[in-house]
Each structure stands twice: as C-alpha cells, then as structure tokens.
Amino acid sequence: MMTTMPQRLWPTWPYRVFLVVLFFGPPAAALFIATGLPIMTDLGWFAHNLLSTYVCPTPAKSYELLGAPMAVCTRCWGATIGLWLAWFGVQWGQRQQSLPRWFGWHWTLRLITAAIPFGLWWLEIHYWPAASYEVLLVNGAIAGSTAGLFFCSLWPGLINSFQSR
C-alpha cells in the first residue's frame, strides 16, 4: 500500500516581500542618489552599480528620478511590473476558478514556454539597441509576466486547482 504525504504549503509572504523589494528598490536607489547625503548617496550608487554589473543588461537605459538613474534599466523594471501582473492574475484566476490549462502542464514545458519572451530581450538588445523606453518597458513586462506565472505555478500550495487532476 502506497501512502502519499500531504504537500507542505509555503507561505506566500516571502514572495510578496520579494516583489515589493524588486518594485521599490530601483527607484529608491535613485532617490538615495538624488539626496546628495553622503551615506544615502553611497548606498544608492552601491545598489545601482551592483545591479547594473550583475543583473541588468543595459543599465544606461534606465529611468531617472530627480536626475539620478534607477538601479536597473527600464526593461528590468518592466519585468518587475510583469511579475506583479502575474501575481495578481493568478490570484484573480484562483478566485474565478479559471486558470489556463498551462498550469497543468509538466514543469519543463511551462519553463520552456515561459522563457520564450526572454528571447525578445536578446533580439531587442542586439538588433534594436535604439528601442524606446516604452518598448523596453512593455518587453520587460511581457517576460516578467511569463516568469511570474512560472514561479507561481511552482510555489507549493499556491495553485490548488490542478492538484486534483
């Protein structure tokens, strides 16, 4: 006789805290820089340099707040917006009991399909370097949305509607 262990549910607050930091962190870094205060400015530049070196592919294309650059480019910040859109979309879909069939696919297929929009990043970076900030923002939001849907689909206990199928 085979018994199954109940799935351990993860709390969602760490994911939401992560989203809040991703959304407010880059503009906060710009505001820290804009203060002109020694420690605050250094913290803002530290965040900007760290993210532009290790995370963001085009840091020169970032929005500016009060004359200081945000810590990531417009595309990366658009991805953060997309992560939020995915979060709210999954929450709405759960309430409506109308999540797409995609959530029932094997995780490798979900990963492959969620990664496809990131190819648009590569194409835009290499073949359209003069793209407007609006294009970067939308391009980032599309990729961020698919990544967010993938993360939500993996979060234990977040998507309950496909566990019984």
Q: Is 123 exposed, middle or buried (0-12, 13-18, 19+ CB in 10 A)?
A: exposed
Report how far residue 63's alpha carbon sits from residue 19's, in angstroms, rounded to the nearest whole number.
19
pLDDT digits (tens, 9 = 90+) for 47-57: 998 988 888 87
Please indicate, yes or no, if residue 6 is contained in any of the structural domains: no
Q: Give the pLDDT confidence score for residue 160 in this predicted structure.
A: 60
Given a contact cutoff of 8 angstroms between Cβ atoms, the answer to whether 37 and 77 are in contact is no
pLDDT reported for residue 163? 43
Residue 67 domain flag:
yes
What is the Cα–Cα distance from 35 to 116, expressed in whole angstroms? Answer: 40
Which residue, 84, 71, 102, 90, is CA-closest to 140?
84
In a domain, 162, yes or no: no
Residue written as tokens 């939308």? 138
164 within some domain = no
Q: Of 15, 14, 16, 165, which is closest to residue 102 (Cα–Cα)?
A: 165
5 is a domain residue: no
Report if residue 92 sits inside a domain. Answer: yes
Q: Is 160 inside any structural domain? A: no
Rg (CA), the chain: 19
Tens of pLDDT, residue by residue over 79-112, are 999 999 999 999 888 887 778 888 888 999 999 9
Domain count, the chain: 1
For residue 145, give its domain range: 13-154
Residue 141 in any domain: the answer is yes
Task: Give the model's confidence band at 3: pLDDT under 50 very low, under 70 low, under 90 confident, else very high.
Answer: low
